[in-house]
Structure 1
């Protein structure tokens, strides 16, 4: 009964995979997605391609994404993300900013020490 409701959102191959899958954890009173998390992973990119197409011409996949990441799928599951250099550099810059903000937050209540540049 539960699997019949899922067919609206899932492909036929996923439907049969879910029917034969035995979940490791059964949580009562929780959403259905907890039961199927082991087989369905979110795609964290707006653009995706299958691995066969990506192997044929990886630069075409990157070009079609207009500078945004591309999720590369194998059997409709993401196996890796192809992130253009500019997007990766931006991501690393934002991560560095977050780390520095955490450092500033951790040190904001420390006592100040007077330092003379000539003493160094």
Structure 2
């Protein structure tokens, strides 16, 4: 059995009948669209998609910052007053 990462789910055939109504009903929650009782895709609002993309970008930046903090070799001492 597949894990469903959504509060709402709907069959593909029911989804095809009225996708806009499914989106309205779910509000800001993701919807799993099922094909033969398995997730075929997830439907999310643009707002939720943007939040997910932002979170992934933030995670990438955190990983890069940690990597750079671990490497102090190329560090250059700077006098803040001289800037």
TM bracket, shorter-chain basis:
0.7 to 0.9
Q: Between the two structures, name the one with larger relative contact order (CA 8 Å, sep ≥ 6).
A: 2
Q: Deviations over 1:31-55 (max 9, x none)?
A: xxxxxxxxx1111101111111111
More strand per residue: 2
Highest Rg: 1 or 2? 1
Could you tell me which residue of structure 1 aligns to residue 14 of structure 2?
53
TM-score, with length taken from structure 2: 0.84
Within a 5 Å distance, the mapping from 1:1-120 to structure 2 comes to 40-108=1-69, 109-110=71-72, 111-113=74-76
1:104 deviates by 0.3
1:75 deviates by 1.6
TM-score, with length taken from structure 1: 0.59
How many residue pairs end up in the alignment?
76
Unaligned runs of 5+ in 1: 1-39, 116-120
Aligned mates of 1:65, 1:114 — CA distance in 2:
54
Unaligned runs of 5+ in 2: 79-83
